[in-house]
Chain A
Amino acid sequence: MSDEMASDQMTGAQMVVQALKDQGVDTLFGYPGGAVLPIYDALFHQNHVRHVLVRHEQGAAHAAEGYARSSSKVGVLLVTSGPGATNAITGLTDALMDSIPVVCITGQVPTHLIGSDAFQECDTVGITRHCTKHNYLVRQIEDLPRILHEAFYVAQHGRPGPVVIDIPKDVQFASGQYRGPENIEHKTYKPQLKGDPARIEAAVAMMAAAKRPIFYTGGGVINSGTEASVLLRELVGLTGFPITSTLMGLGAYPASGKNWLGMLGMHGTYEANNAMHDCDLMIAIGARFDDRITGRLDAFSPGSKKIHVDIDPSSINKNVKVDLGIIGDCTYVLREMVALWKARSQNGDAGALDKWWREIGHWRDRKSLAYRGSDKIIKPQYAIERLYELTKARDTFITTEVGQHQMWAAQHYHFEAPNRLMTSGGLGTMGYGLPAAIGTQMAHPGSLVVDIAGEASILMNIQELSTAVQYRLPVKVFILNNEYMGMVRQWQELLHGGRYSESYSAALPDFVKLAEAYGAHGIRCSDPANLDAAIMEMIDIPKTVIFDCIVDKAENCLPMIPSGKAHNEMILPDTDVDIGAAIDGAGKMLV
């Protein structure tokens, strides 16, 4: 399709492909079916957009998420009506929870059949209303170009999220006038990007007066773009304040930075959680006070003033009442904060800050991420440590599944840059990591992409191995195999008297043979002495690899804030408590 023809008559299906091209989309994840055949035909006739054929629509959604999060672009998927759409729901919900910009195009039965329970019909806009930022059913060809471009606008502006465009088959066949993305301005959706200057000034004054301050940052800093991370580093350097981050925010401030306290929350470090509890000023930036972070709300950082910067007004005062809310984009607000801090003549109480750092030093000395090593079996923490040491000098992207291995990855793999960790934070979707790794590898063909997995999670979307092999993606699946749904097993130990109901992974496949069956390369390692060599083999083989790392079956993921407890009531690895008694009746009700 030439550019001169861009404003010409075309079919709905051609409009979809033209709009993808005009929006700068180079990669599309999808699975064909009856209700999207015209779009697949239009794809056949062009070379601008590369289609990646997944093996299940959930995989397409997670791949689009991995692509989006690692590249700061919009991830796009194309699925058919009915089961195609319903299979994508988990990935859409995941993108909504983690604020990932995704556009999902679904086929729909022709308009005259809608509502008749036609073959492969489902109420896609009805079903996805609750798991998208916005969705559209395109009823006539005249609306299609506007909706296509609007969807990209809504997905990436303000707090990002997934948008569904449901296109009936007759609309795909119909002809109409195409319009480019120029001058697409949304009539209602205009998020506030610039924070209120008076409030930013008040925030900087509070920071200058603080004696025990802490930065608590989240995924919003990463979503805001790389400049936000640069500004955050500058602000932390200027102020000398300690900084902690959520799972979604890892990498915005480098793990090697001297002010870094590690991740906070349920499996966060002792120093991060105690500093949050005892601080007198909390500066929350692009984080949403999730229950994994706060622990018991009425005991959450009781003595602090709280500043909250967020682009989503509904995040402010949702879970935790704050003293100063600033609605705006992190990049803008951080830039103003840096400028105002530099312009001040009198900054901070150096004596108080020194004392605060000495206090933090005592917490750090507890070495809450320590574990008992072994030369007989591979400790899962050790496996992550070695993976980190052997990959840190490379251009590496990490994805994870969900569970113990995810938390060990967050604790022991040290992220130096934003957009390097792709993980399912809010929804906690097992099966996220492999398709996300495929999406990440598509966005970064020359980089090393490792999915840190568990043996249970990986089986939830194992079929995507076929996708990785088809496109010769050298994705590495690093399975911490403890033969248990490890986090479930840990909670059963904590809460249910060690009755491991249904959490043992019986009848596991032989992952080495499984890799070979798919045309990938399989490696197994169970001896700590051979681990480095085996990891190097995994890195060096230019193929899709499954690494079956046999680890300690009984290891618990610590430290841990037991459910229903406060930040200063952590279980540490070296405290010899009966962890079954650490959670009270009310705590057992929680997840």
Chain B
Amino acid sequence: MNAPAAPLSPYSSAFGKRTIEVHTLSVLVDNEPGVLARVVGLFSGRGYNIESLTVAEVAHAEHLSRITIVTSGTPETIEQIGHQLERLVPIHKVTDLTLRGAAVERELALVKVAGKGEDRVEALRLAEAFRAKVIDASITSFVFELTGSADKIDQFVELMRPIGLVEVSRTGIAAITRGPEPM
């Protein structure tokens, strides 16, 4: 007997809902030991996706860190993720920047490319077109620093691949709302 492929449980909240959206969440937290583990553990424990995650202290005196998480799921799941994050005790505020509408998102990448002759020239030409900076160079390699949207970085990396891409290091997305208001 052939069982249907991975039937959705009738107890599952995803039953009948399948539109997947990508949202960027900004989370302001107390910068205390274990706070990142709480956030990451919440995502793994409840089966939510993390597509990108960045974290750094943003206010030293107040011990505040800002975590930017790009996640995907149904609108119901993403609303639930927000509420679950708010339950964590050291969390000050959770904002869904995608729902807020007007937000800018940037990512930084360091891209190492190795090659000789015409490949080096082509790499530099493309880097200029993408406004990437050369931050390290040797006879046979460059390290480019590139800032932009995740799409732009994806595109740059794909162009570098045939030229001699060695490796990529990306920060993940940092995001902030447009206009004078805070998150």
Q: Which residues of A contact B (CB under 8 A)?
A: 125-126, 129-130, 133-134, 137, 139, 154, 159, 186-189, 291, 294-299, 312-314, 316-319, 321, 564, 585-587, 589-590
Contact = CB atoms under 8 A, between A and B. Distances in A.
Contact of B12 (A297, A313, A321): A297
**10 tightest A-B contacts by CB?**
A314-B83, A134-B89, A296-B10, A291-B11, A313-B83, A189-B89, A564-B10, A314-B84, A319-B13, A188-B92
Interface stretch (B30-38, B113-121, B167-175): B30-38
B87 A312 contact: yes
Given A130-B45, A585-B3, A314 B13 contact: no
A314 B10 contact: no
Contacts of A296: 10-11
B41 A130 contact: yes
B7 A589 contact: yes
Given A137-B34, A291-B11, A586-B7, 13 more contacts: A126-B34, A130-B41, A130-B45, A297-B10, A297-B11, A314-B83, A314-B87, A316-B83, A318-B80, A321-B76, A564-B11, A587-B10, A590-B10
Contact of A590 (B9, B38, B91): B9
Contacts, number: 70
A188 B34 contact: no
Interface string B31-63: 001100110010001000000000000000000
A85 B89 CA distance: 21
Nearest to A135: B34
Nearest to A153: B89
A382 to B, nearest CB: 33
B137 to A, nearest CB: 41
A187 B30 contact: yes
Contacts of A187: 30
Interface in B55-84: 76, 79-80, 83-84
B126 to A, nearest CB: 45
Contacts of A129: 34, 37-38, 41
A564 B11 CA distance: 7
Interface residues of B, number: 28
Nearest to A134: B89
Given A313-B86, A314-B80, A321-B76, A294 B11 contact: yes
A319 B11 CA distance: 8
B162 interface: no
Contacts of B16: 298
Contacts of B86: 313-314
Interface centre among B38, B87, B91 (most CB of A within 10 A): B87
B15 A298 contact: yes
Nearest to B29: A188
A590 B33 CA distance: 38
A227 to B, nearest CB: 25
A587 B10 CA distance: 8
A102 B25 CA distance: 32
A133 B89 contact: yes
B148 interface: no
Contacts of B87: 159, 312-314
B164 interface: no
Given A126-B37, A154-B89, A586-B9, A297 B15 contact: yes
B96 to A, nearest CB: 14
A139 B32 CA distance: 12
Contacts of A313: 83, 86-87
A186 B90 CA distance: 10
Question: Which of A154, A188, A296 has the largest count of B CB atoms less than 10 A from its CB?
Answer: A188
A298 B37 contact: no
A314 B16 CA distance: 20
Contacts of B91: 188
Nearest to A319: B13
Nearest to B92: A188
A298 B10 contact: yes
Nearest to A289: B13
A348 B10 CA distance: 35
Contacts of B13: 297, 318-319
Contacts of A126: 34, 37
Nearest to B91: A188
Nearest to B14: A297
A297 B11 CA distance: 6
B76 A317 contact: yes
B61 to A, nearest CB: 14
Nearest to A159: B87
A130 B9 CA distance: 24
Contacts of A316: 83
A349 to B, nearest CB: 32
A590 B11 contact: yes
B11 A188 contact: no
Contacts of A137: 33-34
Nearest to A139: B33
30 contacts: A125-B34, A129-B41, A130-B41, A133-B89, A134-B88, A139-B33, A187-B30, A188-B89, A188-B91, A189-B89, A297-B13, A297-B15, A298-B10, A298-B15, A298-B16, A313-B86, A314-B80, A314-B83, A314-B84, A314-B86, A314-B87, A316-B83, A317-B80, A319-B13, A321-B76, A564-B10, A585-B3, A586-B7, A589-B9, A590-B10
Contacts of B92: 188
B60 to A, nearest CB: 16
